[in-house]
A and B are shown apart, each in its own frame.
Chain A
């Protein structure tokens, strides 16, 4: 057996050269590309994780936003319902008030109309009563339409103030209207009764006025003395038509 030291040395150098060559051309570039791929994969994974985290955050945010919107919607709906309920109550109250007001106004109007109707009815009844009275009085005998009123006219003249009485006849004949033409006896009785209450004779100017129905009316410059049914009926009508 022999051992060649030169071969040992050359083989050692050869293996070291091969070590350098494989390190330079095989192991280093391959391990670098593996590390680069791993780094890239890690980067992609980190990026994917970041994107996922971002997406999850966005999802969480969107869910929170949805919940906020839902809460806001519920709040708005609740508010709208409350507002609608309030408006409904208000409208009902207002409608009730309006109805009560309309009812009150209607009742007042009905009452007013009823009162007006009653008043109109009363007026009509009064007019009718006066009419009926006038028609009935016009059926009195003609002899009673003046004679019975002479004393009453003299009594009314007597109740006039003194100055007015003294002025009667001072400026000429005193106009006297009668419901019908007086007979000479009735005219003489009238003059005598006037002279009696006045204490002096006065001239009278007799005229006929059928609208008086029955009775006499003395027209002095400063006084009018009425004693006839027309004046009575007018007074009764005024009393009946007066609505206090």
Chain B
């Protein structure tokens, strides 16, 4: 069996090695781009069923962001929605035979966590200014500065490890069961994997929202945000 922690390039584009997660991600990217382009070509005030689903998705994202941040969700909608949709589609891509979900690879999860980390800093500085943002690290006391700095790193790593561990373990278990048992035996595990993929996508998006919300304003205290993040960890 192939070691799930190793990553071999499929081919090279010049000096750049193209691995399977990148290739699958491009496919997902193309699929989502084409799908959303087709779905939003003819939006109207009297929505079709598909448009209703899209509007429901967008309003749900908005509601989640608004409830978490207590702010206008317009600035954060695209980032949170993209993270949720990408993680969801990437997790579900395991249903396609022979495809390993990109989120089962550490590099993809690290890329997502890196974007959340950068967005947290970006939105924090944009909302409070550089000085105000840096001052949040000294809350509630300057003694907490090291701990807050460490927390920034650790929670990013927790994002990476949580998603990677859940998705990779699902894929790994299915592969083991498939190698040991018959063709139909892994199906319940694959169904469970769908649920796990959805939950992980939701958790990743909500945690990203909580981290950004904690960075942008005092309305959502960083302490409670951290505790919320900790509570939502499975």
Contact = CB atoms under 8 A, between A and B. Distances in A.
Interface in B100-118: 102, 105-108, 110-112, 114-115
B interface: dominant SS: helix
Contacts of A117: none
A169 to B, nearest CB: 154
Interface stretch (B26-34, B183-191, B192-200): B26-34
Which of B16, B51, B82 is most buried by chain A, counting CB atoms within 10 A of its CB?
B82
B149 interface: no
Interface in B1-52: 5-7, 9, 16-19, 21-22, 25-26, 28-29, 32-33, 36-37, 39-40, 43-45, 47, 51
A136 interface: no
B58 A30 contact: yes
B36 A21 contact: yes
Contacts of A26: 36, 39-40, 54, 58, 81
How many chain B residues sit at the interface, stated as a range, is 35 or more
Given A6-B16, A7-B19, A14 B29 contact: yes
A29 B36 CA distance: 10
Contacts of B81: 22, 26-27
Of listed B25, B51, B83, B102, residue having the most chain A CB within 10 A: B25
A9 B13 CA distance: 14
Interface of B: 5-7, 9, 16-19, 21-22, 25-26, 28-29, 32-33, 36-37, 39-40, 43-45, 47, 51, 54-55, 57-59, 62, 74, 77-79, 81-83, 85-86, 102, 105-108, 110-112, 114-115
Q: Which 8 A-B pairs have the closest CB atoms?
A: A11-B111, A23-B78, A7-B107, A12-B111, A25-B36, A26-B36, A1-B5, A8-B107
9 contacts: A7-B105, A8-B111, A11-B108, A12-B114, A21-B33, A23-B82, A31-B77, A34-B58, A34-B59
